[in-house]
Every structure is written in structure tokens, then in C-alpha cells.
Structure 1
Amino acid sequence: MVTPLTLLHTSPVHVPVFDALRDRNHPGAVLRHLVVPELLDRARAEGPQSVAPELRKLLEGAGGPVLVTCSSIGGTAEGLAADTGVPVLRADRPMAAAAVRGGSGSGGRTRIVVLATVESTVGPTRELLAEEGAGRSVEIRTHLVAGAWDRFGAGDIAGSHRLVAQAADAVTDADVIVLAQGSMAGATELVTTRIPILTSQASGLAAGLELLEGV
């Protein structure tokens, strides 16, 4: 029996996106989707560590490696890997690693602008970039895109992406732009900026499947 890669999402919108990436880049890979929206709701209200008990149960019941696609809770999930014995990867880690390697501005410092639509994502993403950039000269700035999450939550995905694209196009002094949440990826089709923009979904899935192969 083939062991699937479990993808833990906090929104159902991610399921078809990752299935399409699988079909295009990793045909034959077996994915198992687990959608638990209340994890993000609680993390936003009480902080990422508040979801640790439920995350532990979900990881222990996964039956194999887990790719966490929510950047707000990904770090908390990775922190439980050792105790649970379950291989866990946050989907935005490969993106962060690429960001800190992505070009240098004046003085050899890589200037990274992080765009997010949810406040609970900002801290974990900044911490992840700092971790991946340890020993490098990295400047990290964050910007919360006002109104984008409200539109996303109301089902106006296109409107949310337009606001994110406008925020990205307004950035002028960065070497790379990071879209902190997978739900923002569609904005890359609308931007006009020449600054490289990184998203997490394709690289995260590829790394997750590599993690599965190593089990």
C-alpha cells in the first residue's frame, strides 16, 4: 500500500490547487487532504501555540509525513515533530530558504518584503525567514495588506488577489517579495513589478514529497 503525503490545510481552497500541482509536476503521487479551518480561527484569536494540543492529535493520526500549508500554524506543527515521531514540514520553508538566497542589494544585504493578509502569519513568517537567513545579511520588512483577508473570507478571491497585487507593485526597495500565505499565490498573475515574487505551494509540495520518499 502506498503511503500518502498528508496535507494539512486551514481552508478548502487549497485542495484543488495542490491537486493541480501534483497532476502537473508529480503525476502518480498520492495526496491526502485534511482541512481544519478552526485551527486558523483559533491561532488568529489566541496565538499559534494555542492549537498545539489539536495539532498533536492530528499529526499522531496522520499515518505518515505531513505538509502543513498554513503559515500561521506551520512552525507550531514542526515543533511537535520530534515528540510525535511524525515527519512534518511547513510548506513555506522552501520558499523562505529561496528568499534569503535571492539576490543582494547594496552592501550585500538581501532585502525581503513580506506581504501577508492575516496578522497571525506575520510573526511566524518573519521568524522562519530569520531562521533560514541565520549567518546571512538579511533585512526583513513586513506589510499586512488591508482588506485582502476580508475579501478572501467573503469569497471574493479575485478581489483579494487584486489588493495583494497592488501591494506588491507598490514595493520599490526590495530584492525579493514573499507572499506569506498560499492563498495569496494567485496575485502573481496580476502584478507588474519586476521584483521576484516567491510563493510557497509548488516548492512546498515538492519538498513534502521528498520528505515522504525519505521515510
Structure 2
Amino acid sequence: MTRSKVSLALLEDSTYKQAIDQDLQEMEKLLNELLETERLKGHVVLKRTSSSLNTLVKSVISDYFSDKPIHAFLERSLPTLQLDETRLRLLIRNLLENALKYQPSSAKPVEIHTRKENNAILLIVEDHGAGIEAEHIPHLTDPFYRVDPSRQRKTGGYGLGLYLCRLIAEAHGAQLEISSELGRGTRVSLKISLFAEQR
């Protein structure tokens, strides 16, 4: 992969070069996601530190989505959590990428919320896109599952993003829930218990 990227950099700029570069980026992301899913399936020990979920959300938006239409509604004074920050950042990034990918540019901004609810902290990402038919929802976190395989070239990805999010959630003793309504959009919620098992 690295050799291909170096060779590509030596080519003159053209639409063909841009297309090849996009393909290489997709392949690199796929390989990284495959490697990470295998690590998590192997019951890797998380590198937990005392972390602020709000800080992680802000850092992901700043690093990857500073020019994107995202509204953050972050509850103040949330308790810190014992999290693997690298993996939680990956989860947040994947959820925001999905939300942005599947809603029209004319829709309201994607929303991301944090809040405390009973003995848990919630992270919610909500888009205002076309929504997803009910029969697909139980399968969205299955590996390589895509609602519409014919849209792969347009939207990118191989159906690993939500699967990886599910594995990250499970590794933290958390729950990932998806709800959707046709014509109104999709909501993905991460529920992290304040008493989650530490691994």
C-alpha cells in the first residue's frame, strides 16, 4: 500500500490520479478497520484512562469535521469515564462520518449529544436523512452488511464501520442502539454505564 501511494505521488495531477488516490484511501481504511476488528475480537485489553467524553467529541470534530455541518449539544459537568480514548475517538468519527454521508446537503446539520441519564452516560449521533427501513436495522452492525450495495461507489465503505463501533462499545461494556424513521433520519446511541465492567 505504501509503495503504491509513493508511486502515485510521482504521477502528474489528473482525474485518473484522483480516482486512484480515492481507491487507495478506501483500501487503506478497509485494511485498518479489518485489523482493528480482529484485535477487538481477540479480547484485546483496552488502554483505559480517566477521560472526558465531551473532550473526545470536541477533539474529533476539530480534527476531522471542522468544516462540516455538525451541531454539538454537550451536557456540562459529565462525570469522567474509564475509556480507551483511541477507540472511542474512532467510534465517534465513524458515527459522524455515517451521519454526514447519508443525509442530503440541504438537511439540517447532524447533531451529536452527550448527557447523563440515570446511571449511564449517553452519546447520541442523529442525522436528518432518508432513514432506514425497519428490516435492515437489526443487521446494521453485522460485518460487511450494506443496506444498498449498489451505493458503495457513491458513499464509500464496506459495511465495517458500525460493526467496529459495536465491538468498541461491547469492549467497554456499553450498548449501541440504532433507531430510524423513513423520511426523518437515523439515530445511533451509545450507552455507557457508570458501573461498566473494566477490562
Give the TM-score, by structure 2 length: 0.24
Flag the structure with higher helix content: 1
More strand by share: 2
